[in-house]
A = this chain, B = another copy of it.
Amino acid sequence: MNIQEYIASYAKEVEGELQELFPRLWDIPDVLRQSAQYSIDAGGKRLRPILVLAAAEALGGRKEAAMPVACAIEMVHTYSLIHDDLPAMDNDDYRRGKLTNHKVYGEAMAILAGDALLTQAFYSASQARRHGVPAEQVLNIVEELAEYSGARGMVGGQVADMKGEQGITELSGLEYIHQHKTSDLIMFSLRAGGRVAGADDKQLEALTDFGRSIGLAFQIQDDILDVTGTQEKLGKAVGSDEKQHKVTYPFFIGMEESERRVAQLTDEAKTAIAGGVLPKPQRLLELADYLMKRDR
């Protein structure tokens, strides 16, 4: 399998698992099930869950044991998009070419579907223990999921982004937003995949460094694509960030320097996990290159 095939195949497996978001036996209102499933099905690259699986594999771990955590991170990512799209937040009607959750199910249901997905993510993560992951390790994952996706992580980044719309004047402000809004979940994905497979401290550190670098590269690349991309490819209006007066990397340091930084961060990411610290780093190395070269 080349890396494109690897990504496609793993994305499909994750999507298969997510077909049953809430256990079938659970008696829950139909419309809630539909609303949550709608946004899960409207998903994109499934990057975060793929990183969980690839990190576990890089340590010789089993994909099955990593799958509950992979699904958990996709639920957190999806809930964050539903809430971000709300009229009180970014007020977006479309995402990835499909109507946003609140345009289909209404605002109240979109809020509640997001709440249900966030909550279910912790249920899903805790299921890792049914696949042989020790309870202590599963609790480490639960604790970090809360840290990286909560006030100190993604939610904090979203708050800073919201405030930032009133004007960020320094690159460090933009970096805070990117770090927490995007990189934190990516770092979590790599650490959690490593934990599932019993990573030691040195390996966790390598995965964290890798995640931090590709996370930031990913976001700079997003900023670049937002300036240069086509609406068709991205599924949203080109230049929409600038339109909403959001500042971007190219705005601060120019397009050429932005591209140079993506390349540099990708190199740093690869260096962090090379040199034998992980037994099988190949797929992670390929994923880093793939992300740098993506055009959507």
> B residues within 8 A CB of A27?
152
A13 within 8 A of B: no
| Interface hub of A79, A147, A150, A160 (most chain B Cβ within 10 A) | A150
Partner of A32, one of B31, B149, B159: B159
- The digit string for A152-170, where 1 denotes a CB below 8 A from any CB of B, is 1001101110110000000
Q: How many copies does the complex hold?
A: 2
**A59 to B147 Cα, complex, angstroms:** 32
Query: Which residues in chain A, 111-135, are within 8 Å of chain B measured between CB atoms?
Result: 111-112, 114-116, 118-120, 122-123, 126-127, 129, 134-135
> B residues within 8 A CB of A108?
86, 88-89, 162
Q: Which of A136-144, A210-218, A233-241 contacts B (4 or more CB under 8 A)?
A: A136-144
> B residues within 8 A CB of A156?
28-29, 32, 116
A36 within 8 A of B: yes
Nearest B residue to A137, CB-CB: B135
**A143 to B125 Cα, complex, angstroms:** 9
> B residues within 8 A CB of A152?
22, 26-28
B83 touches A159 (CB 8 A): no
A146 within 8 A of B: yes
Q: Top 6 nearest A-B pairs by Cβ distance? A: A119-B150, A88-B107, A123-B146, A135-B135, A116-B151, A26-B152
| Chain A contact residues, CB within 8 Å of chain B | 22, 26-29, 31-33, 36, 79, 83, 86, 88-89, 106-109, 111-112, 114-116, 118-120, 122-123, 126-127, 129, 134-136, 138-139, 142-143, 145-147, 149-152, 155-156, 158-160, 162-163
